[in-house]
Structure 1
Amino acid sequence: MLPSATPSHREVALLDALRRLGGSGRSAELATMLDVSEETVRRTIKSLAKVGSVERVHGGAHLVGPGSTGQRSASFFRRMGENPREKQEIAQVVLPRICDGMTVFLDVGSTTSFVAEALRLRRNLTVVTNSIGVAQLLANHNGNRLHLLGGEMRSDDRGTFGPVTEQQLARFALDVAVLSADALSAKHGLLFHNAAEAQLTMTITAAAEQVFVVTTHAKFSEQAPHRGPLPQQLDLLVSDREPGKKLARALVDWGTEFALAQPTPEGD
């Protein structure tokens, strides 16, 4: 049977939610927005994918065709679908280190989004973020207070950056900041493709008691032109593989702890 040419009420609502999220979203945040189960979201995404309104990726979907917000948003969400199991394992390592009632910053990184999903188990957090996706996941949940920073919206990262973002962030005293990066260098520490994102991380680290970096091992071999905070300000690196000898020595020199995210045994 061919799918109906007329979208259902639920399909229209999901398409509208994707547009409000900048063109892409994870099943968990869409379920929260629409007040339905993730299984319902997955079924609706499957139906919309059949008629070409969305493209399915692991954990969610992004708009395509006339209703799309463009390739930049789609490109970001494809990154969200890369190495999902490894990112979930990284999030599980971070979770015990963040307690109920803490004030936490979460950035726009794809791995950070998995940390945000894990933090739905915590209560009464004060969450500060420049990420639309993080805000949707944690706002109005388990007594959390959510502060979405203002500033210039970048659709490719679904987040805010710039002087306004930095000024608002500087008003907070953070217990923990959870950061991602485009690359991790033994010489320079965190590196970024965008200068505004690199600048924002400096404001974040100045406001935080502890700074956690979450990234898959692929970033160990990447390069980017803009330096972030001093590497000595990084308290913890969590990744899915051990760093090479050069980076491992640098972590020791910086005083940065390394935690390995190991695969969950099958059947657990």
Structure 2
Amino acid sequence: MDHMNMSGFHLNISSGSDARQTAIAQMLRSRDFISVEELAAHFAVATQTIRRDLVALCDQGLARRRHGGIESVGPGKGQGKNVAFRDRSVLNREAKQSIASAVAAQVHDGQALSLGIGTTPQFVAEALLSHRDLKIVTNNLPLALTVGQNSDFALVIAGGTVRGTDLDVCGSSVDDFFAAYKVDVAIFGVAGVDEDGSLLDFSEDEVRVRHAMMRNCRKSYLVLDSTKFTRAAHVRGGRIDQVTAVFCEAEPPVTIRRMLDQSGVQFVRSSEAAARP
């Protein structure tokens, strides 16, 4: 049986695991990350079958496992750029949902919020849907579509050129967009955190957006799952001890936690917050 793969090539996938693994390796030539669920649906097999294929590919050094799927290890793949938004949305889903619930518990009805780019703010938006009378400004398109489900919210979205794989609007015009509003809380993510506390992103535009949000809020919430403490990104902008609060599902490295405590930044471990009555 012939199927068309995600790069547009026809593959025969009826001959078992070897053929599937070859097909998956071909897909990774044009994709940085593919989820287990997507592969299972594509090949019409159980997720357990796909997981065995992924183990075999990793054992051969052809790919690397990531939570929820597999990523490319080819030359230059994934270096200096972020994974596409739709692929990131399945990474560390439980951690992000936990973080989102903890943030939503800190937000009050009627507040004005700015919500930044990335998938963790998107999960926060979903967790906020039961709130009332929120005023939300954002440059994150998927997040805006989520927020738009609640007709009780006032929503303003940035205009400009959309970044195709990230589904957001960046650039100099976004500085003026966020400067037009003074919000109660700015909620944003980050690509990575260096061991010295520096916040890291993949582009100057992403750093500029975060700075604009921080300049125009009363409180700033940094939302990130624990993988960001070991993730490399090459553009530095700001420090983790400059925000009001950090939300994460697990404890940060000891040096980072000490830095937060010394600077008076609140640290919310979402897994513990969820366990409280």
Alignment TM-score, normalising by the size of structure 2: 0.67
Matching residue of 2:76: none
Please list every run of 5 or more consecutive structure 1 residues that lacks an aligned counterpart in the other structure: 1-44, 53-71
Deviation at 1:152, TM superposition (A): 2.3
- The one-letter amino acid of 2:222's match is V
Rounded Cα–Cα distance in structure 2 between residues aligned with 1:230 and 1:220:
13
Does 1:256 find its partner at 2:265? Answer: yes
Determine if contact 1:103/1:126 at 8 Å carries over to the other structure. yes
5 Å matches for 1:1-268?
75-139=84-148, 141-262=150-271
Let me know the Cα RMSD of the aligned residues. 2.5
Check whether the contact 1:120–1:142 (CA below 8 A) recurs between aligned residues: no
Structure 1 contact 123–142 (Cα < 8 Å) conserved: no
What is the CA-CA distance between 1:51 and the residue it aligns to? 10
The CA distance in 1 between the partners of 2:256 and 2:239, in whole Å, is: 15
Inter-partner Cα distance in structure 1 for 2:234 and 2:250: 24
Match of 1:31 in 2: none
For residues 164 and 110 of structure 1, the distance between their equivalents in structure 2, rounded to whole angstroms, comes to 22
Cα 1:160–1:203 change in 2 (3 A) is same
Q: TM-score, normalised by structure 1?
A: 0.69
1:27-62: CA deviation from partner (whole Å, max 9, x where unpaired): xxxxxxxxxxxxxxxxxx99xx6799xxxxxxxxxx
8 Å contact kept, 1:149–1:168: yes
Percentage of matched positions with identical amino acids = 26
- How many Å separate the matches in 1 of 2:192 and 2:43? 38
Deviations 1:104-157 (A, max 9, x none): 111121111110000001111111000111111112514111001112211111
Q: Distance in 1 between matches of 2:237 and 2:134?
A: 26
> 1:186 Cα deviation (Å)?
4.2
Structure 1 residues 172-201: Cα deviation after superposition (integer angstroms, max 9, x where no partner): 001001110011124243211111000111
Of 222-231 and 247-256, more deviation after overlay is shown by 222-231
> 8 Å contact 1:205–1:229 — kept in the other structure?
no
Check whether the contact 2:241–2:259 (CA below 8 A) recurs between aligned residues.
Answer: no
Report the counterpart of residue 16 of structure 1 in structure 2: none
Distance change in 2, residues 1:249/1:111 (3 Å):
same
CA distance in 2, matches of 1:82, 1:231: 22
Q: How many residues align?
A: 201
Q: 5+ residue gaps in structure 2? A: 1-36, 45-80
Q: CA deviation at 1:255?
A: 2.2
